Structure 1
Amino acid sequence: MTEGTGAMVPGAHTIAVIGTGKIGELVLSGLLRAGWPAQKLIATTRRPERAAELGARYGVRVVDNVAAVDEADVLAIAVKPQDAAALLEEIGPKVPADKVVISLCAGLPTSFFNRRLPDGTPVVRVMTNTPALVDEAMTAISAGPHATAEHLALAEEMFKPLGATIRVPEAQQDAVTALSGSGPAYFYLLVEAMTDAGILLGLPRQVAHDLIVQTAIGSAVMLRDSGEHPVKLREAVTSPAGTTISAVRELENHGVRAALLAALEAARDRARELADQNR
């Protein structure tokens, strides 16, 4: 790669997605939607039936891990954290230091990879989330010790087709995992609870679902596009002695704000535990 070349041109690199499960497939499909040529993409997977499925669905070659390392110059590692050590034991000695490693392994620091790869190998840590399926992901990108601004730009270009990207110091990645990596699950749980509440109030399930989903979409767009603080937007809905403030009071009485703080701390702590367990 050359310094100062600007945006990455689709097809400029051969990218291998190593461990093409759910997250790996998100990356693979996003690159294809961005115009990346299928012949410049490689996938690996353990199961032959999964390999056949990926080949048929996306038209990419599916090879073994060692062949992927040999052929690609960018290695996007998307295996489960508990499988990463075994993978790096297999491929680590075969990875030249000029390859770029993109880690999508939740909880694993770049130091985990640096200890198992040739000295000087650039590693970029990435945390994305499942709204990548609809090109609305939030992806946080962090540089390891040997990764340059150019390597970060490469990662950004890879993940832009999936939604928004942001650069953060690696020390903040466990918090990112708790907030946006796991975040979609919190919203789905909230929608599930509000749907049940709508049914309790006498609405048909589908009507309650449609009302909540569109309200969530509209609220998210307002948060993104208005530039207003969420407190101001909430206050605009909250009339004196009205229905909304009555509901907000009950949420506060039941400790919803405190529960969210505790939940995010628990997710962050679990990310740290995963790193400790997989040193």
Structure 2
Amino acid sequence: MIAIIGGGKMGEALLAGLLATGHDPAGLLVTEPHGPRAEELRTTYGSTVVPAAEAARQADTLILAIKPQDMVDLLDTIAAELRPGALVVSIAAGITTSLLEKHLGAGIPVVRAMPNTPAVVGAGMTAITGGVHTTGDQLDHAEALLRAVGDVVRVPERHMDTVTALSGSGPAYFYFIAETMIEAGVAMGMTRTTAHRLVTRTISGAATMLDSSGEHPVVLREAVTSPGGTTAAAVRELERHGVRTAFADAIEAARDRSRDLSEG
């Protein structure tokens, strides 16, 4: 039995992904305290909605998909109810394995995971790391579950704050670029609909090419950049305005903020 505690966007994405990859609805529980939202999940997915303590009593694997600020209260609620050998997977930003272990008690296997919002459309990127009591088989199990919403990579926990900065926050950087490009097109007289379509397909196509080609991004960029051409002029302006440095500084700021959240 698998329990997803939290019926927000990420919780729903996991629920939908698990069902789409063949999991039996009878083997999935959901905890969602907000009545109308619980009814929506029940109606849409045929989910059994139960309180968190009941989910802990029934489930062999619990996925905690709640806000970081609510995590300690939840852990204290479910700690005494967990089944022997149950695996606890947290997808809350900044929640360390040591914090999970501290509140759940000795010997509880835990996995810290950092997904991103493209999981909602099955194109997520998730990094995972195990706690001190987590076996290789349990980490395999967590990875298999999270692959229901996209790709998964394993990293040492010391890199999880960098993961948050790169892939957790990463979609926002691309949306920021897309917004800027669309607005530039509109400012030059193009309709917003056409600019949106051009930019969206360009970004998704470039991402697909980067992923499938195996080439370094510098190689792909240089292939577009003819000497003295339009792209060269654009890149020169980006470099003049320090865009590369600004992005690096932004990613470091996100990493540092993730560290602050991890330390409470």
- The 5 Å alignment of 1:143-222 reads 143-222=130-209
- The 5 Å alignment of 1:198-277 reads 198-277=185-264
TM-score, normalised on structure 2?
0.98
Specify the alignment match of 2:101 in structure 1.
114
- The 5 Å alignment of 1:55-74 reads 55-74=42-61
Specify the alignment match of 2:123 in structure 1.
136
DSSP-derived class of the 1:116 partner: helix
DSSP-derived class of the 1:115 partner: helix
**8 Å CA contact retained: 1:127, 1:141:** yes
How far is the alpha carbon of 1:192 from its aligned partner? 0.6
DSSP-derived class of the 1:185 partner: helix
**8 Å CA contact retained: 2:64, 2:91:** yes
How far is the alpha carbon of 1:51 from its aligned partner? 1.0
- The 5 Å alignment of 1:94-109 reads 94-109=81-96
User: For 1:33-75, what per-residue CA distance to the aligned partner results, in whole angstroms no more than 9, with x for missing partners?
Assistant: 1111111100001211111111011101000011100111101
Paired residues in the alignment total 264
Taking the aligned partners of 1:152 and 1:252, their CA distance within structure 2 comes to 42
User: For 1:225-267, what per-residue CA distance to the aligned partner results, in whole angstroms no more than 9, with x for missing partners?
Assistant: 1111100100000011111011001111111111111111111
Question: Does residue 27 of structure 2 align to residue 40 of structure 1?
Answer: yes
How far is the alpha carbon of 1:158 from its aligned partner? 0.4
**8 Å CA contact retained: 2:111, 2:130:** yes
**8 Å CA contact retained: 1:97, 1:122:** no
DSSP-derived class of the 2:257 partner: helix
Taking the aligned partners of 1:269 and 1:96, their CA distance within structure 2 comes to 36
Question: Does residue 36 of structure 2 align to residue 49 of structure 1?
Answer: yes
DSSP-derived class of the 1:141 partner: strand
Which stretches in structure 2 are left out of the alignment for 5+ residues? none
Specify the alignment match of 1:11 in structure 2.
none
Which of 71, 76, 79 is 2:66 aligned to?
79
Q: What is the Cα-based RMSD across aligned positions, in Å?
A: 1.0
**8 Å CA contact retained: 2:2, 2:60:** yes
DSSP-derived class of the 2:106 partner: coil
How far is the alpha carbon of 1:97 from its aligned partner? 4.4
Aligned-residue sequence identity (percent) comes to 50
DSSP-derived class of the 2:147 partner: helix
How far is the alpha carbon of 1:161 from its aligned partner? 2.0
